[in-house]
A and B are shown apart, each in its own frame.
Chain A
């Protein structure tokens, strides 16, 4: 039962974060802080997918390293190029 609650809780949280992302765009929020917040939601949602939905929690560090490595490289690259665009 607690596993179901955790999975459902993760799903609901991701939907809320999606609505947050959409709202940021809809109301025209732009700039460093909003974009960093958006990238934070990407990190959170992606971590939920990798850890809870893909079920990589407890899997060997190699595989988790590849997945989280992919995530962080992508997000940090986007952040860096965005920050460069504002200067």
Chain B
């Protein structure tokens, strides 16, 4: 708070973006946390099964997807930095680049799903595949939503809605996207690697 005497006290930063999205982010993180913990407990009860079928997962796809999501997040950060400098066109380019990374993730993940479904593996196959499919598909849907939000923000940006003074929408979209990345950062080692 800047006092009338002109003395500035230390100011706590506000959460970036709309407060409402943060409640949504917290709720989503809670759901994923429960999912991760239940997965871990189930793994504890079926270690051999989980180790056996984890070996059938494509670690290369998982790793590439992790890099794609991290890079998408980086591009989103660059987009936010650009709008803070009033560089709207640059901001839009970074957002398009992040969509490109997201699209890459969806393509690779879709192929992973196809490779499992095409050989008859589904939610009912066993406990491991139930968790693998439901966890990653639930995350997949969040990636799609994140991309829709970013695309909506691109449209608004093209209409001149955002500037250095007002860019709450971009920060809101960015915050949601980073949550999607944050979840995958735990999901990849937990489901694909830890044995």
Give me the interface of A with B, judged by CB distance under 8 Å.
3-4, 7-8, 10-11, 14-15, 18-19, 21-22, 24-26, 30, 35, 38-39, 41-42, 45-46, 49-50, 52-60, 63, 66-67, 70, 73-75, 77-78, 81-82, 84-85
Contact = CB atoms under 8 A, between A and B. Distances in A.
A81 B40 contact: yes
Given A42-B189, A70-B29, A25 B59 contact: yes
B194 interface: yes
B185 A42 contact: yes
Contacts of A54: 16, 174-175, 178-179, 182
Contacts of B74: 7-8, 10-11, 53
A21 B16 contact: no
Tell me if B's interface is mostly helix, strand, loop or mixed.
Answer: helix
B14, B43, B174, B188 interface centre (most CB from chain A within 10 Å): B188
B142 to A, nearest CB: 15
Tell me if A's interface is mostly helix, strand, loop or mixed.
Answer: helix
A81 B188 contact: no
Contacts of B47: 85
A84 B12 CA distance: 41
Nearest to B70: A14
Contact of B62 (A8, A22, A56): A22
